[in-house]
Amino acid sequence: MTAISTPQRRAGLVVPPWFLRHAGVLAVLLLIGVFTATSSDVFLTGANLLNVSQQIAVVAVLAAGLTLLMTAGGIDFSLGAIAAVAHGVAAQLIVAGVPDGPAVLVTLALGAAIGLVNGVMVTWFKVTPFVATLATSTALGGAALLIIGGQSVSIGDHLMMIGFGEVLGVIPVSVVIAAAVCVAAALVMRWTAFGRNAFAIGGNESAARLSGIPVVRTKLLLYTLGGLLAALGGVMLVARLGAASPGAGGLHLELTVVAAVVIGGTALHGGSGTMVGTVLGVLLLGVVANSLNLLQINPYYQDVALGAVLAVAAIANHLRGRRT
């Protein structure tokens, strides 16, 4: 037993703990921002920043669900595929003449149902989350293409409100949705028993179970919520693109989401995580992509950069975890 107290190195500092915790990501974000701003006149223009914020809105919505899930020690590799399926289903429903509102609701319900299936596999059948969601991800990747018949399905001027609407004449609706989701997730993680139970389960599932915390129900809810938010991301995707098309969502979106959450400092083994970190991770990846774009660097480097940032963040998290 190594139940010996660890010294508190940070006692006495008056910096708020969340700032200290995310100082690394924040510093990298500022660094890249300053560098891009000095190299390109476009970066700090309102149009570009709006563009960036709209691009990352979908990632942020998915990442919020994943942060909650990973805090409880779970993982979901099917979020991108659920988003792809959702954006196809929403498009086909609209093409079939279903009004926007019901179409969106049905899509969201479908996403939640898929998430529940993931949850059932993980909790009742005790399949490792990685394998369970990899299986659904693969199956849904194919399903997404089948739904749209492998072609673009245009939705005309439907869902304009979500795709191009603005609040107060400047802020895109998609950004407002993403912000609302992230704030709600942060509140859930701090103030609800459900959110706190996720921390307890991720931190020590056995102790949580013995304390009477409903471990299975909480996990089912977490996967369901993840699926629901992924479907919302899919709706935002189709609204913004004006059409469902092959290649939207899917694996690339998934990896970006996982990367953002990990960069934000959420532990892969569960027990700790913050929405502030996740939002910073999403912002960082968005800014890096935009920066590579503006600096006219070969787009193939995008994935290289994504992988590199992820590796550095994971190593930094490991070193930090070892120290405490």
Partner 1 sequence: MDVRIELAGVSKSFGGAVALREIDFAVNGGEVHALVGMNGAGKSTLVKILSGALVPDAGEVLIDGAGHGALTPRRARALGVSIVHQHRTLVPQLTVAENMLLGRLPRRAGAVDWRRAHAEAARALAALDVRVPTRAVAGELGPAQQTLVEIAREVATGGKVLVLDEPTASLGGADAATVHDLVRRLSSAGISIVYISHHLDEVLGLADRITVLRDGRRIVTAAGADLDLAGLVRAMTGERISHQRPRRDRAAGETVLEIDALASGARLAELTLTVRAHEVVAVLGPAGDGQSELFDLLSGRRRPSGGRIRVAGADVAAGDVGAALAAGLRCVTGDRLAHGLVPGLTVDENLDLTRRGLRRPWLVRWGRLHRQAAERRSRYGVATIQADPPVSALSGGNQQKVLLAKWLDAPVQACLLEEPTNGVDVAAKADIHQLVDGLADQGTAVLLASADVEEVLRLADRVVVVRAGRVVADLPVEGLSRDALVSLTVGGTAS
| Local structure of 244: helix, strand or coil | strand
Query: Cα separation of 286 and 175, whole Å?
Result: 13
Q: By rule CB under 8 A, what count of residues binds partner 1?
A: 30
Nearer to partner 1 (CB atom), residue 191 or residue 301? 191
312's CB contacts (< 8 A; 6+ apart) are none
- Residue pair 174/240 in contact (Cβ under 8 Å)? The answer is yes
213 binds partner 1 (CB under 8 A): yes
Nearer to partner 1 (CB atom), residue 196 or residue 252? 196
Among 271, 277, 281, 286, binds partner 1 (CB under 8 A): 271
312 binds partner 1 (CB under 8 A): no
- Residue pair 67/217 in contact (Cβ under 8 Å)? The answer is no
317 binds partner 1 (CB under 8 A): no
We find the least distance from the C-beta atom of residue 190 to partner 1, in angstroms, to be 8
We find the least distance from the C-beta atom of residue 143 to partner 1, in angstroms, to be 36
272 binds partner 1 (CB under 8 A): yes
Nearer to partner 1 (CB atom), residue 80 or residue 195? 195
Among the residue ranges 6-14, 56-64, 228-236, 289-297, the one whose residues contact partner 1 (CB under 8 A): 6-14
Query: Cα separation of 102 and 118, whole Å?
Result: 25
| Local structure of 204: helix, strand or coil | coil
Cβ-in-10-Å burial (0-12, 13-18, 19+) of 151 comes to exposed
Query: Cα separation of 254 and 246, whole Å?
Result: 15
- Residue pair 234/227 in contact (Cβ under 8 Å)? The answer is no
Nearer to partner 1 (CB atom), residue 84 or residue 198? 198
Residues 172-211: x/- map of binding to partner 1 (CB under 8 A)?
------------------xxxxxxxx-xx--xx-xxxxxx
Residues forming the site for partner 1 (CB under 8 A): 1, 3-6, 8, 11, 190-197, 199-200, 203-204, 206-214, 271-272
